[in-house]
Amino acid sequence: MLKLESKNMLNPKNWITLYADYLLNFAYFRLRDRALAEDLMQDTFISALKSQHTYNGTANEKTWLTAILKNKIIDYYRSKLGKQSKITDSIDNNTNNDYFNEETSFHWFEKKQPQDWNNPEKTIENSEFNTTLADCMKKMPEKLAAVFTLKYIDDEATETICKEVGITSSNYWVMMHRAKLQLRECLEKNWFRK
Amino acid sequence: MADKKQILITCKEATLLVCKKQEKAISLKEKIQLKAHLLVCRVCQLFNIQSALLHQHLKKINNENYDSKVLQLDETQKAALQLQIDTESEK
């Protein structure tokens, strides 16, 4: 009996007060769309109610609810990424985002070449840097952001990411490569050489 | 037998290998190709150094360090949601 009491319990009466803002921000940070984040947060509570019987008390309530939300976010990512057979063509068609001359020199386009950064090791530790970083991540195309978020925010293994969102590893590398080229460029413009 | 064509890679390929290297997903052959390219290409060298710095930084901060309290629901929204949950749980 004592054992039972020490287990975590679900208490839906308190869910909104305790977790609504947390889950909303968790989703917003990963999806960058408030309406969508609100929908998924709401769905999370409804799904959680329906699957209360599966809760065994090993994880605490917050962790359990977050895991449900996380699955919903991954479902959303997969719906955006998985059915795409030619991911590389659809990432962005903006020729402004071409970095390399693939016809003659095979080198970087001159205006796209990385420039020297002033004292980057030091300025990267400035707390405002993370705000610029978050802004630059917001500018990433949705599909790139999905993969990048799973890697760097959720710290997942590459294999897991590919399986979860339904992409091949070569697609993963194409997307990660492009994400990093864009992020580096954005940070250079908005932070390191501002 | 080393084939010259196999050692020389383009900047696009080199920067892709930089990304693979960060996740330790690089083969021995690719490692050699990248090293050779970085010896002669200053621009890719810069990319290599800068993206390593960003990679380290991103690994270090987790989501708690980002602006995690950007959005807040107002009390009316919260009350409506809680009501929805209460009604659902009574079903």
Q: What is the ipTM of this complex?
A: 0.85
B23 to chain A: which residues are within 8 Å by CB? Answer: 158
Domain assignment of residue B20, yes or no: yes
Q: Say yes or no: B81 contacts chain A, CB-CB below 8 A.
A: yes
Domain housing B36:
1-61
Dihedral Cα A9, A12, A18, A22, nearest 10 deg: 100
B66 and A134 in contact by Cβ < 8 A? yes
**pLDDT of A94:** 57
Query: B residues 18-37 near A, CB within 8 Å?
Result: 19-20, 23, 25
Domain assignment of residue B38, yes or no: yes
Report, as ranges of residue numbers, the positions in chain B whose pLDDT lies below 70.
1-5, 62-68
Domain assignment of residue B6, yes or no: yes
DSSP A68-85: HHHHHHHHHHHHHHTT-S
Q: Tell me which residue in A25, A100, A108 faces B70 most closely, judged by beta carbons.
A: A25
Q: Which two tokens mark A194?
A: 């501002």
Q: For tokens 């990048």, what's the residue?
A: A148
Domain assignment of residue B72, yes or no: no
**pLDDT of B68:** 60
A37 to chain B: which residues are within 8 Å by CB? Answer: 71
Average pLDDT of chain A to the nearest whole number: 89
How many A×B Cβ pairs under 8 Å? 119
Domain assignment of residue B69, yes or no: no
Domain assignment of residue B28, yes or no: yes
Domain assignment of residue B70, yes or no: no
**pLDDT of A32:** 86
> pLDDT > 70: what percent of chain B?
87
Tens of pLDDT, residues A16-48: 999 999 999 999 989 989 999 999 999 999 999
Q: For tokens 């083969």, what's the residue?
A: B27
Within 10 A of A26 (CB to CB), how many other CB atoms are there? 23
B84 to chain A: which residues are within 8 Å by CB? Answer: 42, 45-46
Tens of pLDDT, residues B14-26: 999 999 999 999 9
Structural domain count, chain B? 1
**pLDDT of A1:** 44
**pLDDT of A83:** 64
Q: In order along chain A (194 residues), what is the average pLDDT of each group of 10 residues?
A: 63 94 92 94 96 90 96 95 60 68 91 94 91 91 93 94 94 95 97 92
Q: Which two tokens mark A21?
A: 């803002």
Query: Hey, which residues does A100 pair with through a beta bridge?
Result: A108
Q: Which structural domains are found in chain A, ordered by start?
A: 11-81 (1.10.1740), 87-192 (1.10.10.10)
